[in-house]
Amino acid sequence: MFLRRLRSASGRIRVTVFVCVVLICGSFASAAVIQMRLDRMHALSQAALFGQRRAQEMATELGASLDRYEAVGRAFASARAGAETSAALSEAGGAPLRNIAVFDQNGRIESEMKGVPASLLPLPAGVLARDRSLVVPAGDGRMLAILFHVRGRIVAVQIDSAALLAQAGMQDGLLSTASGRVIALGTEWTAAPAPAALALDRATAASRVVDLAGGARLVSLRQVGRWPLVAASSVRVEEALGAWYGALPLYLFFILGPAFAGAALAVLFVRVFERQGKVAAAIKALRSKRPDEARLLVRLADAERRTAEAERAKSRFVAQVSHELRTPLNAIIGFSEVIEGGVFGAPGHPKYVEYARDIGMAGRELHAKIGSVLEFAALDSHADGMRPGDQLRIVDAVRVARAAAGERAGAARARGLKLVVSLPEAASARAEPAALARVIAHLLDNALAYTPGGGVVRLEMRADARDIVIRVRDTGPGFTKRESADAGQPFQRFARPGAPGGMGVGLAIAMGLARRMAGTLSLSSVPGQGTVAELRLAAAAP
């Protein structure tokens, strides 16, 4: 059952490729996430190791300081009370030392160095009950006191906790009791953590992440020698993970890179597989046909192939023959003009000048017809590689139309026609300048060729926010209903009395160029009343 489902799923190429890409990208993403977590844990462990070293250094220095203050307290308890003794011991204790007091076993004060330590009274019960040392914070929260027994008496040494921390270089550290009660904070702390986060219980060292209002901190705890105190160094978690944050773009690349590469390869594979699948299906369908149907399909495919090859051969033939004909024609036209103009002397007979003029005129007409055929062949086969809408830009249609009309003003006068131009001041269209000029030229040439003497040819233009409409009207014989259906087809000629012959490709070229500019060219005609050719293009802001 599983193999059957797997075989059916493999036939669905897109589903199979999509599932494979999802699985591959999911595997990369899972590996990246696991590696990210491992690297984060490694970065925190490295920061904790450094913090433990720092906490050990601070604990050692604090333990030595407290031992020194204990020694000063023992010296005060053993010496004879006096101003000189107090001054000497105060100078030995330094700035953190605030006061020393001696009590009896019942907690009554016997002597003090600077005054009665009211913040310590009454003494904690623990120090009265047993012979052990204690560290207690003073009531004002700015000092701590160490209490110990000396020869049946209790000595209390009061120390400025802030000065003690500064002496140990603990700007980022803190000092607390073993139960987690904060005694002193470094200057980098904005709030005191909860006691549970600082309690050591039975351990002598630990590292923990503590969440505070100003951001999480990694705290490394260490017991201060033989004293019931805990020294802690700290660092912001975001600082400890600075290198890890810097590697995040690499993790994203590790996740997204294979995803994009897999998607691109999936698209390529799907296209190849589908193409191969279509070929295989066609071959399978062809094999399943009866012999006579198969032969018909083979003949049809062969006919399509031959048609395509014939079309390409026709385009190559037209282009090559037109080029081969143009070259000698240029020479014929040039030599006829030389003979007609008498460049190297007068001809022997006046008829030679007339013949040379006729030869030149016939050569120019043939040259123009060959040019039209070549233009139509190039347009029909897309030889220039352009498609509808390619390379369009903003064109001043008025300027192009006026230039085309000016070039044909002389021909209109020679045929006894009136060429009327009615154009706005400005009209911008999205078109190709050369193609637009060719379309207007073909329309004007057709109108002038088929309008009898004394007629009128009008070139008009209308512009609005959306369209530019160019019309060419004539007063010629027009088209019949049957001729209107064939107008614009290549090599369609309509005989008219007195009209010069043509190749019948002018309108076909104009319509092809109009389509290439994403426009339309339409014809409307009434027999005996003339024809209107209308070119419509998209308007553009000037």
pLDDT tens-place values along the chain, 542 residues long: 544 554 454 456 667 777 777 777 777 777 777 877 888 888 888 888 888 888 888 888 888 888 888 888 888 888 776 777 777 777 777 778 888 888 887 778 888 888 777 777 777 776 666 666 777 776 555 778 888 888 878 888 888 877 777 665 566 778 887 778 887 777 777 777 887 888 877 777 888 888 887 778 888 888 888 888 888 888 887 777 777 777 777 767 766 677 677 777 777 777 777 777 777 777 776 666 666 666 776 778 778 888 877 777 776 776 676 667 777 777 777 767 777 777 677 777 777 777 777 787 777 777 777 776 666 666 666 545 445 555 678 888 889 989 988 888 888 888 888 888 888 888 888 888 888 888 888 888 888 888 888 889 999 998 888 888 999 988 888 777 776 666 656 666 665 655 555 556 677 778 888 888 888 888 888 887 888 888 888 887 75
Strands 456-463 and 418-422, bridge-based pairing: parallel
Exposed e or buried b for every residue in 262-301, given b needs 16+ CB within 10 A?
beeebeebeeeeeeeeeeeeeeeeeeeeeeeeeeeeeeee
Q: Which uninterrupted H or E stretch holds 258?
A: helix 248-288
Q: Which residues pair with 236 in a beta bridge?
A: 217
pLDDT for position 446: 82
Tell me whether residue 364 is exposed, middle or buried, using C-beta atoms within 10 angstroms of its C-beta: 0 to 12, 13 to 18, 19 or more.
middle
Main-chain phi, psi angles of 272, to 5 degrees: -65, -45
φ/ψ region of 216 (left if φ > 0, alpha if ψ in -120 to 50, else beta) reads beta
pLDDT for position 526: 80
Q: Cα separations (Å) of 163 from 137, 159, 421?
A: 14, 8, 102
pLDDT for position 169: 59
pLDDT for position 287: 64
Place of tokens 């409409």: 469
pLDDT for position 466: 86
pTM score, whole prediction:
0.43
How far, in whole angstroms, is CA 98 from its chain's centroid?
A: 67
pLDDT for position 10: 47
